[in-house]
Amino acid sequence: MIGGVPPPDPGGGYVSDQNSNNIPSPMDMDSTRPSRKRQIEHSHLAPRSLREVMSRFQVEELHLTLTEGQWRHKQWGYPVLDAAPGAELYAWFSPEVTNIDNQWKKLTSTLAGLFCASLNFIENQNTINPQMSLWPSGATEHLSNSSSYLRYASLPREIVCTENLTPWKKLLPCESSHGFSSLLNSRLIHNTNYHSVGVHVRKICANTACTETFIEIKQTVALVYDFKILNSINWSFKLLFGQGLLGGCPLASSSKIYIDITSNSTTHFKLTPPPNKIVESHRGGSEVTLAIYEIKPDTAMLNIAAKQGTNNRVILNIPPPLYFNRYVLGYGKEFGGIVTEIVNNYWAPIDIVLSENAPWWLPIQLSTLRINGKAKSKLVMGQYYSPGRSRQKPYHLELLLRLPPKSTTTVTIDFEFVFLKWQEYPPDANHGFYIGSALITANLPTAKNFTGLPIEGVTFDSIFNASKPWYPAVFRTNGAMVSLPTPDFSMPYNVICLACTVVALAFGPLHNICTKELVLKATGAPLGLRQKLINLFKKKQD
């Protein structure tokens, strides 16, 4: 188990927590057998449910995240693992699978029941096959050069709640009784500005020659707190989670907590209790100082706290080398456009891949694509476009761009609004329709603002002094929302009320006519007022 708690940032006002659990579990990957079927061995630490899913549906690699909120890359830097708002799922299947779409549907339905999420709404009409945006991070050599085995889908409207956190905890070896997961109180973490839980399954090499592979199951959680809501710039485990940490998981071989204390030179704070050791890491032009706490199963109640000093200096929030923004253009109910602004804050060009995924009810037109307002641009190094089909498949566009140094690149593409059938509108249709996040894949030339693990990395300490020429990363932009032409769903209610009123008014006279008997009464001389009063008193005396 690995956890990281960066110190408070006076400008950003946030605290983020990262927790991952890596459980290597051997899996028979012998390809010399005639059937080449994978056999599930005895599960000890790894959750058997996930291993059965991987084996039954012949999945080579799986990534699932459930996120509430939006990560602000410009203000917060880059997360350890980026995630799109809502639910995001992508997986690589084995080349032995003959019908990948059928296996993909079965996989989403199974994961929907396992994590109590609406993943069963993932179908071919909202699934794409990225060509350049994603790559396998595990030991899958036969999948590196082929994207036909990859499926990607997202549900931006998915709401993350306690129903998703509980099954996520049950996959851990110690569940929520011990370890860092015991701090995850649903009442507190769901009140944060950003929270994300994820499950990532891949194969890793067991030896240098990679003759034997293991299956690695990594569970991650990321939280961002707002100090304005906490009403304090000081933080502690009890303030953030409502309790302290009562020891590590007895089944874990190593349990550590990493706290980023790099900014202690400007924003002075004191950690209590003191860490076991302090490590300095130099990675890609970035210097990071980390305080490390080693957690044992018999450790007493641990409440790590940071108290701010009085002589703090104001620090500037330096944006990362690459950040972006996404929004919708247009007015009315006929035409619109999606705009993605990408800022290269570095002194050298950066190559990226922009992947746009538009649902079938929002058809985009490739002829309206504009880069910085121009139909043709030298910034485009490659392009892939897959047209959508009404009620069958989404629109998919991928662009390989070379961003000039110190520049802002604007990518605009127009879309049309379509009319849906009345059964296709979701609940609360007037709220709007969500568009999933775009994927931005980049080779970062520097590790500043970057805390992601290397592709071959397993634990958090793999980032120590891990300098490389490039740092590949996949980012998600913010989502967008459009308002489609929506019928007046209150009209049936008004018609029903009017019809019922008319029927009620007509039913009374008709009922009287059909049930009452009309009797003729003889008419006499009209009585005067005096005679009427006399008759009235006679009735009372009788």
pLDDT digits (tens, 9 = 90+) for 456-511: 788 888 888 888 888 999 999 998 999 888 888 888 888 899 899 988 888 888 88
| Contact by Cβ (8 Å): 68, 190 | yes
182: confidence class by pLDDT, cuts 50, 70, 90: confident
Q: What is the pLDDT of residue 509?
A: 84
121 by DSSP, 3-state: which?
Answer: helix
Q: Report pLDDT for 369.
A: 95
pLDDT per residue over 98-130, tens digit each? Answer: 899 999 999 999 999 999 999 999 999 999 999
How crowded is residue 34: how many other Cβ atoms within 10 Å of its Cβ? 5
Calpha distance 402→405 (Å, rounded): 9
Residue 64's nearest CA partner among 223, 219, 195 is: 219
Cα separations in angstroms, 331 against 90, 319, 327, 337, 483 = 34, 32, 13, 10, 10
Q: Tell me, what's the pLDDT at 344? A: 96
Q: How many CA atoms lie within 13 A of 55 on its CB side?
A: 17
Mean pLDDT of 508-516: 83
When pLDDT is cut at 50, 70 and 90, the band that residue 43 belongs to is low
Question: What is the pLDDT averaged over residues 311-324?
Answer: 77
pLDDT above 80: residue 524: no
Query: What's the rounded mean pLDDT across residues 380-394?
Result: 93
Share of the chain above pLDDT 70, in %: 88
Backbone torsion region of residue 418, taken as left when φ is above 0, otherwise alpha when ψ lies between -120 and 50, otherwise beta: beta
pLDDT digits 0-9 by tens, 74-104: 988 898 889 999 999 999 999 889 899 999 9
- Contact between 355 and 420 under an 8 Å Cβ cutoff? The reply is no
Residue that the structure tokens 């890491």 belong to: 281
pTM of structure:
0.86
235 confidence band (pLDDT: 50, 70, 90): confident
Token pair, residue 229, equals 């809501």
Confidence at 7, pLDDT banded by 50, 70, 90:
very low
Q: Which of 368, 372, 375, 378 is closest to 400 using CA atoms?
A: 378
Give the integer Cα–Cα distance in Å for 20 and 65: 13
Q: What is the pLDDT of residue 152?
A: 97
For residues 184-212, average pLDDT: 86
Q: Are 245 and 47 in contact (CB under 8 A)?
A: no
Q: Burial-class residue 491 by CB neighbours within 10 Å (0-12, 13-18, 19+).
A: exposed
Tokens of 446: 């520097």
Q: What are 392's two structure tokens?
A: 């069958």
Query: Does the pLDDT at position 23 exceed 70?
Result: no
Written as one letter, the residue type at 241 is F
Mean pLDDT of all residues in 269-279: 89
Q: In which band, very low, low, confident or very high, does the pLDDT at 400 lie, cut at 50, 70 and 90?
A: very high
Locate all alpha helices (DSSP H) within 293-395, ordered by sequence.
none
Across the range 433-454, mean pLDDT stands at 90
Task: Specify which residues 327 forms β-bridges with.
Answer: 339
pLDDT digits (tens, 9 = 90+) for 335-348: 899 999 999 999 99
Binned at pLDDT 50, 70 and 90, residue 439 comes out as very high
The predicted structure's pLDDT at residue 92 = 94
pLDDT at residue 37 greater than cutoff 80? no
pLDDT of residue 22: 54
Assess whether pLDDT exceeds 80 at residue 527. no
Q: How much is the pLDDT for 200?
A: 92
Residue 5 — pLDDT band, cuts 50, 70, 90? low
pLDDT at position 510: 85
Where is pLDDT greater, at 266 or 303? 303
Predicted local confidence at residue 42, as pLDDT = 57
Q: Is the pLDDT of residue 268 over 70?
A: yes
Round the average pLDDT of the chain to a whole number and report it.
Answer: 84
* Predicted local distance difference test score (pLDDT) of residue 266: 64
Split at pLDDT 50, 70, 90, the class of 131 is very high
Confidence (pLDDT) at 404: 95
CB neighbour list of residue 270: distance below 8 Å, 6 or more residues apart: 306, 307, 309
CB 240 within 8 A of CB 232: no
Question: What was the pLDDT predicted at 13?
Answer: 46
> Quick check: 35 pLDDT over 50?
no
Q: What is the pLDDT of residue 325?
A: 95
Nearest alpha carbon to residue 450 among 417, 418, 485, 474: 474
Q: E strands, 265-391, where?
A: 269-272, 277-283, 286-294, 301-302, 305-308, 322-329, 335-344, 350-358, 370-371, 380-386
Cβ(281)–Cβ(464) below 8 Å: yes
- Name residues whose C-beta falls within 8 Å of residue 517's C-beta, 6 or more positions apart in sequence: none
For 346, the token pair is 């570095």
